[in-house]
Amino acid sequence: MSLAVSIALAATNLSDIDLLAHQVGVFGDPPSDATAGAAWTVSTQWAFGKVAKVRARVRRRVWDPIATRSGGFPGCWWRGNLLTGWIAIDLDATLITAQSDKQGGGEFQERPRLSSARGVVREHHRIPRDAAAARHAGSNTVSDHIQVLADAIAQIPARYGRKILVRIDGAGATHDFLEHLQQMNSVFRTVRLTVGWTITGADEMAIAVPPATGWADSPHQDG
């Protein structure tokens, strides 16, 4: 209740729970920031779970009519080839700029890990990315990547999740995550993966800038 009242009083962050301080006679002592944070985490997890179930039902209702079109449900493109019957799950970070009220704090950026499922309607015509799941995830943090992937797969109707291509950049290049993907293969589901990023013309130009003497072989991680 304290969280709801503070939001009604224009609270924009957990520290604004102090807005309740002048209404102690009505609501009692306001909770601490830590208590408010714990309550927010529990309530949002419950709410997000409910929302995820509804989104999964809606996605099934939307995807089923698409599958009845001529050519069936769209596949995905990989290296110039159309993979019919496959769903691509792309995992990548997205930047969210937030304002800090601390002195000299300025702005900071959070990087929740976002996963999206996509395919193509017909050759050279992609359907928009379908954002499947998002949560805070640290770079190279295996448990976070496994969880956001699980959230995304839970959003894919079972009949369309038989063949899954997981694509992630260098942040997912950990042995445990790649082994987890391999273990997801079963009689009913095939999982393939690609990890890394595309070297663009700009990358090639940057690589060419340092002199040849600036490069050295590094066969071991310790240099």
Of residues 5 and 191, more confidence is placed in: 191
**Residue count (the chain):** 223
Of residues 198 and 174, more confidence is placed in: 174
Domain count, the chain: 2
If asked whether residues 127 and 161 sit together in one domain, one would say yes
The residue type found at 188 is F
The residue type found at 33 is D
If asked whether residues 114 and 200 sit together in one domain, one would say yes
- pLDDT greater than 50 at residue 213: yes
Name the burial class of residue 100, with classes exposed (0-12), middle (13-18) and buried (19+) by CB atoms within 10 angstroms of its CB.
exposed
Q: What is the DSSP letter of 13?
A: S
Q: How far is CA 118 from CA 45, 80, 91, 212, 216, in A?
A: 26, 15, 12, 41, 40
Which residue range is the domain that position 10 belongs to?
1-68
Distance CA 196, CA 192 (A): 14
Cβ atoms of 91 and 172 closer than 8 Å? yes
Listed residue (75, 57, 40, 48) closest to 148, CA to CA: 48
Q: Mean pLDDT, to the nearest integer, of 111-136?
A: 48
pTM above 0.75, yes or no: no
Residue 74 domain-assigned? yes
If asked whether residues 82 and 187 sit together in one domain, one would say yes
If asked whether residues 91 and 179 sit together in one domain, one would say yes
Render pLDDT for 129-145 as a digit per residue (tens, 0 to 9): 566 666 666 667 788 88
Residue 127 domain-assigned? yes
If asked whether residues 126 and 158 sit together in one domain, one would say yes
Poorest-pLDDT segment among 41-55, 89-103, 137-151:
89-103
If asked whether residues 122 and 173 sit together in one domain, one would say yes
Q: How far is CA 47 from CA 184, 186, 190, 193, in A?
A: 28, 32, 31, 31
